[in-house]
A and B are shown apart, each in its own frame.
Chain A
């Protein structure tokens, strides 16, 4: 059998992670903002700094970071549980999401001691929100073609260029940006480096971009000769591409790649319980559960690899591709179902939640690597090129 698929073996959550779930549920019962389902459906694009700081008070921002830095020192399984509970409740986690999932672990792995001492405690305290500067106006899926450039100068670097579609840049304190430090765009992956950029310094302008649902969750960021200190470089100069790749297994394998429509799924199930369900509706609901069970187990299998320190990047691409297809299918199918009879009443909250998700569902398979990129990676993993 293709060895790519060998990673996907049924894995149970260890007891300590299940025990942690009770704490998270207890927290959510007390602190989850009471808002309607169409707001909760924003899930990991819903921004609420106060909520993130409540989580941080418990060590749950930077959950996997060492306790010495203010993290909880818990493993990937515990993070899986936390994320699963937050997302299925529709908690507004956007503020700390990137820092917890990627920036913190990246700084821990590649950062200098000084960077770790400065940034990690702030991340864990919910006082440093991060965004990731990847795409540029002319570099989307072809990320290696980035043109933003940092050039050496007295005491550090000067950065010019622009980033776009950067999630939460207008709310974030820092950006970790992938930029060119040597060579030309034709040199592709070599000559790229990662910098931590304080977004409050001079020369940076940030323009939120309003999306089709009326939200502004991403931004365009312009850098005009921004002075960066020596200590802004993360990891090694020229190793940016390799470092970015090390994050991908974390970014693409988690529950956020199949839970984006779970608030809607639960709301619809409640509606069916109240109003009664036809055989077709029951089977459709069951098909979602069937797929969700399988996806969750695929994701858990990779969580076990992450917990062992492995980096299953191609396997994560597989989970993300099939997972986002699933979370996109849910609002499409429910829209058809609840409007199958034009004479039947439709619950307003359910209607709005379905409509919102159908509007934004295309982003599920864009953010974090497009479907086409992922399928190319999977094909390579299958030995096809």
Chain B
């Protein structure tokens, strides 16, 4: 029910033109308001607190849809923030909330959240400061854009005396949730890139026939589809637990597997589209630019695979097969 409603809003309001406009500084207030007023930021908020009380599994298709539409707003992050703030006396602030899985103090005492997703437009940030969960007002921060074309990432610097609210010791959950959101977004954006590439290869005619009729092209698309399928089911795993926050090991696998697929999926899409694929005009770039950014955001596959490897090595006598089937602590719904 929620998925269909959100899908409709995204189709109507999160158009490629709107995505470009937000990247160029538009605040997309109509789109944000529609989602906020519809109560869609409260999907993970318990019903006793007037939320929808959805499970992680139920929000997965929604987070996937955000990726499929290249949603240029931190909606998934704002939804997750409400779950992360579940035990806080403070109500989540009104406005766009994003997540910073990493933060540290500079030598001069400033608090830095490097390359925070949607840092360019977030009103508030939930920050993991060495395990402490901090809520910070982004209007007090200096925002430094990454300098990457079109990117909505920004490094935020809060002055030493910035008033943050310490919310608890579950700061590490910020990175987990953010990574899981990225995994879902990657899987969604890949689905879109695959669909676009399939459509193009069926339409584009060279040597008298659609290029999708050439075996060399078909085999590339088959491999691309394999990577998309493997990524999607891995991302789904991060949302398969009955807990409030995605499971650590499942998230590591989800973020690693989706990130691993990014180079091949983006390369294949661009190879098959040819030169038109790298133009500003074609929508493909809205997805492939994001895929590249999301792959490295909150740690690339090298980081998360390292954690997975450590987890296996820490369990003597446990083989790969046994380890893998115990990734999900509880059965998915």
Tell me the A residues contacting B by CB distance below 8 Å. 1-2, 4-5, 8-13, 84-85, 87-88, 259, 262, 265-266, 269, 272-273, 277, 279, 281-298, 301, 318, 321-322, 372, 374-376, 378-379, 382-385
The 4 closest A-B pairs by CB, nearest first: A286-B309, A286-B308, A286-B305, A379-B218
A291→B219 CA distance, assembly (Å): 21
Known: A294-B234, A296-B324. A4 touches B307 (CB 8 A): no
* Contact assessment for A4 and B308 in the assembled complex, using a CB-CB cutoff below 8 Å: no
**Residues of chain B lying within 8 A (CB to CB) of residue A297:** 233-234, 236-237
Does B221 interact with chain A (Cβ within 8 Å)? Answer: yes
Q: How far is the CB of A334 from chain B (nearest CB, A)?
A: 13
**Residues of chain B lying within 8 A (CB to CB) of residue A5:** 191, 225, 228-229, 232
**Residues of chain A lying within 8 A (CB to CB) of residue B231:** 294
**Residues of chain A lying within 8 A (CB to CB) of residue B319:** 88, 262, 266, 269
* Contact assessment for A4 and B225 in the assembled complex, using a CB-CB cutoff below 8 Å: yes
- Secondary structure at the B interface, as helix, strand, loop or mixed, is helix
B287-322 contacts to A (CB < 8 Å): 301-302, 304-313, 316, 319-322
* Contact assessment for B309 and A285 in the assembled complex, using a CB-CB cutoff below 8 Å: yes
A298→B323 CA distance, assembly (Å): 17
Does B278 interact with chain A (Cβ within 8 Å)? Answer: no
* Contact assessment for B221 and A382 in the assembled complex, using a CB-CB cutoff below 8 Å: yes
Among A284, A295, A379, point to the contact of B309 (Cβ < 8 A): A284
Does B100 interact with chain A (Cβ within 8 Å)? Answer: no
A269→B227 CA distance, assembly (Å): 26
**Residues of chain B lying within 8 A (CB to CB) of residue A2:** 191, 194-195, 198, 225
Given contacts A10-B236, A286-B256, 20 further A-B contacts (CB under 8 A): A2-B198, A8-B233, A12-B332, A85-B321, A269-B319, A273-B316, A279-B306, A282-B310, A285-B309, A286-B304, A286-B305, A286-B310, A290-B301, A290-B308, A291-B230, A294-B257, A297-B234, A322-B230, A376-B215, A385-B212
B262-298 contacts to A (CB < 8 Å): none
Q: How far is the CB of B96 from chain A (nearest CB, A)?
A: 28
Q: How far is the CB of A355 from chain B (nearest CB, A)?
A: 20
Q: How far is the CB of A272 from chain B (nearest CB, A)?
A: 6
A13→B302 CA distance, assembly (Å): 30
Among B202, B218, B223, B308, point to the contact of A289 (Cβ < 8 A): B308
Does B75 interact with chain A (Cβ within 8 Å)? Answer: no
**Residues of chain B lying within 8 A (CB to CB) of residue A374:** 222
Number of A-B contacts (CB under 8 A): 183
User: Could you name 11 residue pairs across A and B whose Cβ atoms are closer than 8 Å?
Assistant: A5-B232, A259-B321, A282-B306, A283-B309, A284-B305, A286-B305, A287-B309, A294-B231, A318-B225, A318-B229, A375-B223
Does B31 interact with chain A (Cβ within 8 Å)? Answer: no
Does B13 interact with chain A (Cβ within 8 Å)? Answer: no
Among A88, A281, A375, A385, point to the contact of B320 (Cβ < 8 A): A88
* Contact assessment for B226 and A385 in the assembled complex, using a CB-CB cutoff below 8 Å: no
Known: A10-B332, A376-B218. A384 touches B226 (CB 8 A): no
* Contact assessment for A289 and B225 in the assembled complex, using a CB-CB cutoff below 8 Å: no
Does B328 interact with chain A (Cβ within 8 Å)? Answer: yes
* Contact assessment for B215 and A293 in the assembled complex, using a CB-CB cutoff below 8 Å: no
Max chain A Cβ within 10 angstroms of own Cβ: one of B198, B213, B324: B324
A265→B324 CA distance, assembly (Å): 13
Among A281, A376, A384, point to the contact of B202 (Cβ < 8 A): A384
Known: A273-B313, A294-B234. A378 touches B222 (CB 8 A): yes
* Contact assessment for A382 and B222 in the assembled complex, using a CB-CB cutoff below 8 Å: yes
A382→B201 CA distance, assembly (Å): 11
A376→B215 CA distance, assembly (Å): 7
A2→B316 CA distance, assembly (Å): 42
A34→B264 CA distance, assembly (Å): 42
Max chain B Cβ within 10 angstroms of own Cβ: one of A266, A282, A294: A294
